[in-house]
């Protein structure tokens, strides 16, 4: 970056050069001095849905521009994921789910910081069924920082450290966050998933590494909802989405266990499947989910 500096020394040097002899015809020259400064982080619209509407070339250029920032950590990170990692503030909690502070999503998912025991944060996992009682699954996008390209439940994310998502009454803050992220990740309009239709069934506490650098340490709210919705996946977040019935899910589990087709499941999804999902699926079909809700217990898995 070149900047014209209007300093006495620069002006003096400019006049000196201007009065010097140059090959004919004489030319007048302006003096530019090099100055290096740090650009602010690129600002993107808050909803990651906007990124799914811009051209791939624009996203590539944005990523390249971000990667040139010499003082920025993880310069190879996708621009959208970078924004989420550094702008989103997760809610730090203790093992009893009491709020103890907040921290960037980036720090909350660094494995070395997780090992300090100070990065436990609140999360949620949505299990959305249609009226045929099929479960909507997603494959996380290849650009996700943690657990890219793994298959998981409908939506998994974090309530943020903001007033609307800190409301504890009836777990409204977590429900608000779930509604927000279903729109961000899967393009599901808010009117398709009213916050009062989410049924919180339980909470679980787990820790899982991703790739040696990244991982999870979450106190996870398990939210179930039965709705027919419009799905328009955001490619920055989701590689693929599909509904499965029980038998299809069991086949998916078999392939993951056998290592077929490189298929992998997220650790939190697998914990829910192995400990709760199929017995809760019975109540989904019977319309009796509220009968098995237990928000007093935090399962340490």
Which residues belong to the active site? 156, 218
Local structure of 93: helix, strand or coil:
strand
Pairing relationship of beta strands 238-244 and 121-129 according to DSSP bridges: unpaired
Q: Which residue has the tokens 């002899």?
A: 21
* 94-115: b (≥16 Cβ within 10 Å) or e: eeebeeeebbbbbbbbbbebbe
Q: What does the alpha-carbon distance between residue 265 and residue 263 come to, in Å, rounded to a whole number?
A: 7
- C-alpha count within 13 angstroms, C-beta hemisphere, residue 28: 1
Which residues share a beta bridge with 122?
219
Q: Which of 240, 246, 278, 247 is nearest to 261 (CA)?
A: 240
Query: Which ranges constitute the DSSP H helices of 68-133?
Result: 79-87, 105-108, 111-114
Spatial separation of the C-alpha atoms in residues 153 and 104, rounded to whole Å: 24
């Amino acid at each position: 970056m070149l900047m014209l500096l209007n300093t006495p020394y620069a002006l003096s040097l400019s006049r000196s050069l201007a009065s010097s002899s140059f090959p004919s015809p004489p030319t007048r020259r302006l003096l530019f001095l090099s100055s290096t400064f740090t650009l602010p982080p690129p600002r993107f619209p808050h909803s990651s849905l906007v990124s799914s509407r811009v051209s791939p070339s624009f996203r590539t250029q944005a990523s390249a521009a971000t990667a040139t920032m010499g003082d920025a950590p993880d310069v190879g990170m996708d621009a959208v994921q970078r924004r989420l990692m550094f702008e989103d503030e997760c809610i730090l909690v203790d093992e009893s789910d009491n709020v103890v502070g907040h921290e960037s999503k980036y720090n909350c998912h660094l494995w070395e910081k997780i090992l300090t025991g100070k990065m436990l944060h609140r999360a949620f996992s949505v299990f959305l069924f249609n009226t045929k009682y099929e479960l909507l699954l997603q494959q996380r996008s290849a650009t996700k920082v943690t657990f890219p390209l793994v298959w998981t439940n409908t939506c998994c994310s974090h309530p943020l450290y903001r007033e609307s998502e800190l409301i504890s009454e009836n777990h409204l803050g977590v429900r608000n966050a779930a509604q927000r992220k279903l729109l961000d990740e899967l393009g599901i309009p808010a009117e398709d998933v009213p916050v009062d239709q989410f049924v919180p069934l339980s909470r679980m506490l787990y820790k899982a590494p991703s790739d040696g650098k990244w991982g999870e340490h979450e106190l996870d709210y398990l939210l179930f909802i039965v709705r027919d919705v419009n799905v328009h996946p955001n490619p920055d977040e989701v590689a693929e989405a599909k509904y499965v019935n029980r038998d299809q899910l069991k086949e998916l589990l078999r392939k993951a266990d056998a290592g077929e087709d490189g298929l992998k499941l997220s650790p939190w999804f697998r914990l829910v499947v192995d400990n709760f999902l199929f017995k809760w699926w019975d109540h989904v079909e019977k319309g009796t989910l509220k009968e098995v809700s237990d928000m007093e217990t935090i399962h340490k898995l």
